[in-house]
Structure 1
Amino acid sequence: MTIHPTAIVSNSANVHSSVDIGPFTIVYDNVEIAEDTVIGSNCEIGVPAPLGDGSPLRIGANSVIRSHSVFYESSTFGERLVTGHRVTVRELTRAGNGFQIGTLSDVQGHCKIGEFVRFHSNVHVGQHTTIEDYVWVFPYVVFTNDPHPPSEVMKGVRVKSYAAIATMSTILPGVTIGEGALIGACSAVVKDVGDHRIAVGNPARDRGETSAIKLQDGSDRPAYPWKHHFHRGYPESTVAQWLSSVQESEN
């Protein structure tokens, strides 16, 4: 373990001997950090959470948490968590392997996030949001949860697997975005979006099947489902399954 002399690490924290912890970072009591994780400077890891359930903050192996990030206790992250800088994640967030959180993103807690979900910068995730596997969320997207603010009513958004939500879109409370759906930039999504459908505008309207969009690489291949042609950063076993499904559909 490499702990910078200015870092403060609680003796009660369960930190693997291979973990690196940067300058001025604080690791609180109720924390479990798995092997080969790197935590940058000026982070707060395992901040006490009165609204949590008393469980520890669990960070999976081979994770990278960059400077000035804050994670509260009572959340769990799988292996290979990667953050940008100045990320905040509140209590009772459950995320799978390969979760990427861009700089200045904010997860308000009580959220469920699947495998290999990717947030770009400045994403805001309201409480009770559910995001399934392999979802892409681009900069300045906002997931809301209060249908008539301010109130005590919270209706979380649900995003199904393989959906992509383009920059500066706002998803209203209780909306479900279907599997493989595409939300166009600057959209306000006020009602459910079906599987493999395009929704664009304010308010967002259905614009047809995602398969109608072509890659702008001269190949004239469909851009969606994106998993048929974009594989960077995904496990080889998963990519093999995707390619097998393409071959089966073509036969």
Structure 2
Amino acid sequence: MIHKSAIISSKAKIGVNVKIGHYSVIYDNVVIGDNTIIEGFCEIGYPTNLADGNPLIIGNNSYIRSHSIFYEGSSFKEKLVTGHRVTVREKTYAGLNLQIGTLSDIQGDCQIGDYVRTHSNVHIGKHSKIGNYIWIFPYVVLTNDPHPPSETMLGVAVKDFAVIATMAVILPGITVNEHALVGAHSLVNKDVPYGMVVAGNPAKILCETSKIKLKDNPQLSAYPWPRHFRRGYPDSVTEEWRSMFGEKII
């Protein structure tokens, strides 16, 4: 169902069973997959020369909440989900089931893997490279300019299964490696090693993530988190985790 107040370009390609809310605008260079919901007051495929003429592609079964803006020139696989008032710039390429929290901002020229979760008010700077199964919590900032303002951009890299806790700032060119945990309010100015906890300003290595125990079950390690957390992930993924980590997921 398309609301009568929505403005839909005749050049846009709209899949079947797509719902578009009141006063939303769908621009020319847009492909929207089947069974997608776009709520009211959104701008989808906002024109920009920086897109090099490439379309905005929204995968099947996506859900974009109200007042969100997506520029042309980006591509999202199935089950994209956003909060309200999200902004995503051009040349953002994301995998399956990306979740973008309310008031978050992706500045474009970014690569994002499968099943990435960002909470509200997250800023992802240009040239960020984010792997699979990442958690980024509220008010996290991934920076990219080593001596602002300048034309130099060094994107942050976040590797598979890493977790970045609330209000952390990752400085330009830093890599947060697999299974690492960045503590809340941290300023990260050095690469974070595999499977380590860092925290503080500047962030320092505290311990291996496996040393942290679950609050509700102190006999078990909280990390790697896929051993005990699977809400929102399909069975095919959690079965892969069982094989990968060699333990039953509780």
* TM-score, with structure 1 as normaliser: 0.97
Tell me the CA shift for residue 210 of structure 1. Answer: 0.3
Deviations 1:186-205 (A, max 9, x none): 00000100010101000000
Partner of 1:243: 242
Structure 1 position 161 matched with structure 2 position 156: no
Give the Cα separation in 1 of the matches to 2:84 and 2:219: 38
Give the Cα separation in 1 of the matches to 2:51 and 2:226: 36
Partner of 2:45: 46
Give the Cα separation in 2 of the matches to 1:94 and 1:131: 10
Deviations 1:138-180 (A, max 9, x none): 0000000000000000000000000000000000000000100
Give the Cα separation in 1 of the matches to 2:97 and 2:219: 31
Partner of 1:61: 60
Partner of 2:169: 170
Give the Cα separation in 1 of the matches to 2:125 and 2:217: 39
Structure 1 position 75 matched with structure 2 position 74: yes
3-state DSSP of counterpart to 1:220: strand
Query: Tell me, which stretches of 5 or more residues in structure 1 are unaligned?
Result: none
Tell me the CA shift for residue 241 of structure 1. Answer: 1.6
Partner of 2:122: 123
Structure 1 position 19 matched with structure 2 position 9: no
* TM-score, with structure 2 as normaliser: 0.97
Give the Cα separation in 2 of the matches to 1:247 and 1:36: 36
Tell me the CA shift for residue 247 of structure 1. Answer: 3.3
Tell me the CA shift for residue 17 of structure 1. Answer: 2.6
Greater CA drift, 213-222 or 61-70:
213-222
Give the Cα separation in 2 of the matches to 1:93 and 1:135: 16
Tell me the CA shift for residue 246 of structure 1. Answer: 3.5
3-state DSSP of counterpart to 2:221: coil
Give the Cα separation in 2 of the matches to 1:50 and 1:187: 36
Partner of 1:202: 201
Tell me the CA shift for residue 248 of structure 1. Answer: 6.3
Tell me the CA shift for residue 219 of structure 1. Answer: 4.3
1:157, 1:174 within 8 Å by CA — same for their partners in 2? yes
1:77, 1:97 within 8 Å by CA — same for their partners in 2? yes
Deviations 1:104-129 (A, max 9, x none): 00000000000000000000011000
Query: Tell me, which stretches of 5 or more residues in structure 2 are unaligned?
Result: none
Residue type of the partner of 2:177? G
Residue type of the partner of 1:177? V
Give the Cα separation in 2 of the matches to 1:176 and 1:247: 27
Partner of 1:139: 138
Q: How many residues align?
A: 248
3-state DSSP of counterpart to 1:3: coil
Residue type of the partner of 1:197? M
Percent of aligned positions with the same letter in both sequences?
58
Residue type of the partner of 2:166? T
